[in-house]
Homo-oligomer: A and B are copies of this chain.
Amino acid sequence: MNKADIKKLLQRVKNKEIDIEAAMGAIGDLSYTEMGFAKIDNHREIRVGYPEVIYAEGKTVEEVKSIIEVMLTKDNNILATRANEKMYQAVKNICSEANYNPLGRTITIQKRKVPLTESYIAIVAAGTSDLPVVEEAAETALILGNRIEKIVDVGVAGIHRLFDKMDIIRGAKVVIVIAGMEGALASVVGGMVDKPVIAVPTSVGYGASFGGLAALLSMLNSCASGVSVVNIDNGFGAAYTASIINKL
């Protein structure tokens, strides 16, 4: 509720078109659903195709089911990330259209068809071990209504594999680069495209990768301009940001 809204509201109070309690409710802006253990946030403008999102990690199967149950009463698409098989079974019981991506660990429910964007998001990944993050990003981008192109296993150790796909990458409106180990792919791609690059370090690696820290630091220090970074393994966050940019 911004200044202009308040002004209009006050005008309506003055004109006695609305009574005080109602005005207070409007200002209070009851923009979430109280569930006791959670508050479902409804505050973003509900545009066609924007899903409701649940971060399932650390929630019980029962909690995830209950939250989705409430969400189903509205006409929105639904995305749950970091969900396990059991959560999916519980959700499937109350909504047969639910889909599960076991690699990306996402539950998606598409209640309304979302028209895909013409421009696309390129999702570029270094190795096959990065696929879970690729899938989380892909599912997120799709349910948000974006056309995507996946280019996987193009790590810099065999850089000719990357170059062969460079045209597809350069054709994207925004590029997500997913890589673990030393994360060099973000810099190489960042140096070759003039589109925003969102880098996702992954926890793929061992020893001195320190759970993705090496890739994270590498990406933050990228010598290529135009690269910004999200949290380790955060495929959802990268795709969400990419979607905002893709739809600008």
Query: A: which residues have CB within 8 A of B?
Result: 2-3, 6-7, 10-11, 13-14, 16, 20, 23-24, 27-32, 37-39, 41, 43-45, 53, 55, 57-59, 63, 126-129, 131, 152-161, 164, 166-167, 170, 173-174, 181-184, 186-188, 190-192, 194-196, 198, 201, 203-234, 236-238, 240-241, 244-245, 248
Contact = CB atoms under 8 A, between A and B. Distances in A.
A184 B23 CA distance: 31
28 contacts: A2-B166, A3-B28, A6-B24, A11-B20, A31-B158, A37-B128, A39-B158, A41-B161, A43-B158, A156-B184, A157-B222, A157-B225, A182-B183, A184-B184, A184-B223, A188-B188, A196-B244, A198-B228, A207-B233, A208-B220, A208-B221, A209-B221, A213-B217, A217-B218, A226-B241, A228-B238, A245-B248, A248-B248
Query: How many subunits of this chain does the assembly comprise?
Result: 8
Contact of A191 (B158, B191, B231): B158
Contact of A217 (B208, B234, B238): B208
Contacts of A174: 248
A126 B188 CA distance: 13
B207 A231 contact: yes
Contacts of A223: 126-127, 155-157, 181-182, 184
Given A37-B131, A248-B245, A187 B196 contact: no
